[in-house]
Amino acid sequence: MTVSPTAVSVQGDPAGTTEGAAVAAPSGGSPVIRTQGLTKRFAGGQLAVDGLDLTVPRGSVFGFLGPNGSGKTTTIRMLLGLIAPTAGVATVLGAPMPQSTARVLPRVGALIEGPALYGYLSGRDNLIRYDSADPTADPRTRKQRVAQALDRVGLAAAAGKKARAYSLGMKQRLGLAAALLQPRELLVLDEPTNGLDPQGMREIRALVREVAAEGTTVFLSSHLLDEIEQVCSHAAVMSKGRLVVQGTVAELAARAQGRLVVRTADTEQAVAVLRGHRVTDLRIGDGRVDGELTAADEETLPRLCAALVEAGVAVRGFGVERGTLEDAFVALTGEGFDVAG
């Protein structure tokens, strides 16, 4: 689904309509997105989103993280006025949704659940059709902007090919190009690297950073922890329709305690020494042992290293690896999901 100011096209129904790696720190000001008690219950009683209180700072690259089925896409559809909430409120760019779709959507670029394309049109002509539906778009610069958008997502060489012949990854790129036809205050991307190979994923992530550097707030939904950690300044974690935690990526990762890592060929002996010094959850890998420190101060690490050496362990490396978003998510929810796809 690609959202334009005048039309929302759903995959399989292009004519459907509705009314119309370090990232810079946010620039401040009022939040671009804010929800309070946002809830969506579908017919039959399914609770998809439960009391969501979310704040997306202006200027951030905000990662909306959670396993498939955690309520991310339903939340995005409410934010863009595609469906009405059962309870609670959503404010986007300072205006309530879905009441203000005609005023808000011209300032938002979005790609949701894959782009809706006319298969019999070329990639270029699909973008021309999208741009023509935008009353704010200047027709005099249309061809130039379409060409720039295609080049930006790496589709210039395939611009004349029929969209039905595009791979899933190419369709994702074309949908992203549609969202980038004009500068927007907010860019909403739902699983933007879906269907892309590793090189394509890297290119899209670089593009997200570039767009953010130009001043656009990016709201990026993903089930890939690695994706969020690489490109986002802030993140929120969803699980089973509820918000688990939100904050800067650094703050979320810091919730996970770092693990002690000892690199040595004498792994069994190292385990015995570390166990005697209250290091728990010990794991043996290829030429390494890692474990969790139950208590640590500035004297703990030198004491542990000295104990290993005194016991005759040939230590090749010693230190604490910082916690990751994956560690934090598992610690907060007791479940895990894809790291890199």
SS (H, E, C) 177-215: HHHCCCCCCEEEEECCCCCCCHHHHHHHHHHHHHHHHCC
Confidence (pLDDT) at 330: 65
Q: What dotted CATH number matches 2-249?
A: 3.40.50.300
Q: Which of 98, 100, 106, 97 is nearest to 135 (CA)?
A: 106
| CATH 3.30.70.100 location in the chain | 259-322
Q: Are 2 and 9 in contact (CB under 8 A)?
A: yes
Confidence (pLDDT) at 129: 95
**For each of the chain's 341 residues, which pLDDT tens digit applies?**
665 443 333 333 333 333 334 455 455 678 999 999 999 999 888 999 999 999 999 999 999 988 778 899 999 999 999 999 999 999 999 999 999 999 999 999 998 877 789 999 999 999 999 999 888 899 999 999 999 999 999 999 999 999 999 988 899 889 999 999 998 999 999 888 887 888 888 888 888 999 999 999 999 998 887 788 889 999 998 888 999 889 998 888 766 666 789 999 999 999 999 998 888 888 998 999 988 876 665 678 888 999 999 999 999 998 887 666 666 666 665 555 544 44
Confidence (pLDDT) at 51: 96
Confidence (pLDDT) at 70: 87
Q: What dotted CATH number matches 259-322?
A: 3.30.70.100
End-to-end Cα, the chain, rounded Å: 22
Sheet of 33-41: strand order equals: 47-56, 33-41, 87-92, 95-97
Confidence (pLDDT) at 201: 87
11-28 burial by CB neighbour count: b if 16+ within 10 A, else e?
beebeeebebeebeebee
Confidence (pLDDT) at 193: 86
Confidence (pLDDT) at 281: 84
Confidence (pLDDT) at 24: 52
| CATH 3.40.50.300 location in the chain | 2-249
93-123 burial by CB neighbour count: b if 16+ within 10 A, else e?
beeebbeebeebbbbbbbbbbbbbbbeebbb
Cα separation, 177 vs 95, in Å, equals: 26
Confidence (pLDDT) at 213: 92
What are the residues whose beta carbons fall under 8 Å from the beta carbon of 176, sequence distance 6 or more?
111, 153, 189, 192, 204, 207
Q: Are 108 and 184 in contact (CB under 8 A)?
A: yes
Q: Which of 146, 122, 120, 118 is nearest to 132 (CA)?
A: 146
Confidence (pLDDT) at 26: 58
Confidence (pLDDT) at 264: 93
At 202, give phi and psi (nearest 5°): -65, -40
The answer, as to whether pTM is greater than 0.85, is no
Tokens of 59: 């200027």
> Residue 273 carries which DSSP code?
H
Tokens of 79: 């934010």
Confidence (pLDDT) at 192: 87
